[in-house]
Structure 1
């Protein structure tokens, strides 16, 4: 298997912690971890198998200018990128209590951008065991990737990551 490119943002905090946990579970010899704030589109295009991680910001930031967010800076770089024939798995962090009607919405937005590149999204997850009101990342009875809540369900993260790794690795072969 070729190396997997893992791209995450923002730097620091829970998304970075989960990215490092994923790298550990997959194996540091099989994955290269990148902060999206330091990347260009070509950095993504060099991989056939890609993982991307994003957090969903709270409502207090949605109405403000959020141009400093790592992904807000990187999203435009995906425009026109051709990832046809490549596989992308997504993970997203959100708060299923305070933002139950927006749970991991940014993962859904990222999926929309990735679909436009021609890549195949893999690693969809059932909603079994999740409580939420609504989510742009929930489609056709599944999440587009792995949803995690580090605020209220951090005790479930390691098991969810382990199960997801078992789901995505065969897709990357």
Structure 2
């Protein structure tokens, strides 16, 4: 092989080597963008005003007490339904009662806050305590809230009348000095989820 051929082979080899090196470092144009994504859950916030609906003493059979209160949606999500659970404790003065004091406290939910002339639902505290919350909602809240529920920043007024009833066949003296502590728990549920 002549000198020219050797030089030609050397140059060809060098060019090939440079091509391979250059090919390894070649890059296409590129660009990137960053997105910021947030998932924030809404809030259900059902409030009652006032939180103490009734506080009376020195009751006697035949007494009637009317109280009104307001349920408020202070959250960021609409409320679909409201349910109510009733629980009470009787503080026995004598301890030898034959009847439950809650059987003689009648509860009437009233429809019209101005005239107080239409009873939506009526029962005793004893029966109320044994009812399913959904059944109470159907009788107490649905007539007013209906399918609309309680939208954000809206409120719903409720008027309730408590009656201390009596029964001629029951010795009412057994209830003298007794007390009944009533706890109502209102629970709100959300509306159906939707495409966002």
Q: State the TM bucket, normalised to the shorter chain.
A: under 0.3
- Computing the radius of gyration from Cα coordinates, the structure with the larger value is 2
Structure with bigger strand share is: 2
Structure with bigger helix share is: 1
Q: TM-score, normalised by structure 1?
A: 0.26
Q: TM-score, normalised by structure 2?
A: 0.24
